[in-house]
């Protein structure tokens, strides 16, 4: 047993841990389905969360969202680590409780990077829903048939203790903004930060372009107004020399504004300065 004190804290007998180990599915499809079902149940309680992963008109679009896939994969990896840490009768020496809890905190920090708008209390609810989901998936896919009521209750008990522990350390990692050190989580974290930087640069450029376009349109309206004033007073040749000089100066001003705005509109050079800052930060 990896850590006797840890298992005692979970109030789990060796028989319960054996049941947990023996019933854990090794099929990836089952594990991924387990994660999707957990989120499906979470969304049934808090449907507004679904809008973070899909458009309102696509009710099932969240299943295809890359962020959901990342979250589900890290969640299932963590559950598998829990089985290896607490239930494996012949554990790997590296599978210690300290390593497991550190991983949970890293995942908390990673999830804050992936979905920063989803507050920790939603993940706490997700962890509370997990034991039922785990028991349902295991029972429905066992080659030996569904779990007996007694075994199901035992399994629910041990998983309730473990997911409570997982929830506490996940939230701790979230609150402390832990930056993952584990290679696979670190890669995902850096990838997410890079994508955020790209999104920020695009939004900045789009806002600048919108502002420049608005200035360009305003300049065009000014020029059109000046031209209209010429036609309403007769042909340009019939204007007095004073009026002609005055109108000409207005027209020149308008043209200069258009040229200046056009230069702003086609100037993307400042974007490279932003890229350097973001790359240095990441």
Residue 66 is predicted with a pLDDT of 87
Helix segments in 24-146, DSSP class H = 28-45, 66-86, 97-114, 120-141
Q: What is the rounded CA–CA span in Å between residue 160 and residue 129?
A: 9
96: left (phi over 0), alpha (psi -120 to 50) or beta: beta
In CATH, which of 1.10.3470.10, 1.10.490.10, 1.10.357.10, 3.30.930.10 is domain 4-181? Answer: 1.10.490.10
pTM reported for the whole predicted model: 0.63
Output the CA–CA distances (angstroms, integers) from residue 88 to 1, 11, 18, 21, 160, in the order listed: 8, 16, 8, 6, 18
Consecutive 10-residue averages of pLDDT for the chain (282 residues)? 50 89 88 92 92 76 87 89 93 89 90 87 95 95 93 95 93 89 71 57 52 60 48 45 42 41 38 35 34
Q: What is the rounded CA–CA span in Å between residue 16 and residue 174?
A: 31
Residue 95 is predicted with a pLDDT of 87
Residues with Cβ within 8 Å of 127's Cβ and at least 6 positions away in sequence, in order, are: 163, 164, 166, 167, 170
Q: What residue has token string 């589900």?
A: 72
Q: Among 103, 113, 159, 109, which residue's Cα sits nearest to residue 132?
A: 159
17's enclosing H/E stretch is: helix 14-23
Residue 10 is predicted with a pLDDT of 72
Report the length, in residues, of the chain.
Answer: 282
Q: Where are the domains of the chain?
A: 4-181, 197-281
**Are residues 126 and 39 in contact, defined by beta-carbon separation less than 8 angstroms?**
yes
Q: Among 33, 76, 32, 68, which residue's Cα sits nearest to residue 50?
A: 68
Other CB atoms within 10 Å distance of the CB of residue 184: 12
245's enclosing H/E stretch is: helix 241-265
Distance of CA 67 to the CA centre of its chain: 5
Residue 21 is predicted with a pLDDT of 95
């Amino acid at each position: 047993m990896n850590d006797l004190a840890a298992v005692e804290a979970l109030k789990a007998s060796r028989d319960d841990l054996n049941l947990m180990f023996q019933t854990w599915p090794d099929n990836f499809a089952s594990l991924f389905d387990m994660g999707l079902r957990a989120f499906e149940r979470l969304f049934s309680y808090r449907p507004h969360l679904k809008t973070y992963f899909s458009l309102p008109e696509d009710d099932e679009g969240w299943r295809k969202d890359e962020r959901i896939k990342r979250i589900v994969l890290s969640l299932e990896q963590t559950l598998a680590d829990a089985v290896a840490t607490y239930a494996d009768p012949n554990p790997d020496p590296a599978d210690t409780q300290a390593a497991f809890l550190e991983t949970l905190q890293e995942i908390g920090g990673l999830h804050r990077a992936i979905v920063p708008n989803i507050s920790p209390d939603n993940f706490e609810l997700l962890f509370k829903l997990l034991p039922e989901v785990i028991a349902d998936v295991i029972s429905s896919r066992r080659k030996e048939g569904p779990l007996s009521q007694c075994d199901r209750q035992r399994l629910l008990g041990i998983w309730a203790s473990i997911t409570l522990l997982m929830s506490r350390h996940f939230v701790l990692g979230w609150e402390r903004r832990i930056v993952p050190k584990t290679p696979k989580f670190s890669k995902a974290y850096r990838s997410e930060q890079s994508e955020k930087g790209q999104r920020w640069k695009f939004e900045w450029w789009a806002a600048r372009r919108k502002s420049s376009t608005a200035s360009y349109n305003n300049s065009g309206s000014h020029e059109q107004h000046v031209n209209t004033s010429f036609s309403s007073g007769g042909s340009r040749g019939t204007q007095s020399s004073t009026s002609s000089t005055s109108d000409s100066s207005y027209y020149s001003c308008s043209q200069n504004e258009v040229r200046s705005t056009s230069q702003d509109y086609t100037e993307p050079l400042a974007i490279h300065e932003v890229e350097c800052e973001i790359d240095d930060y990441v």
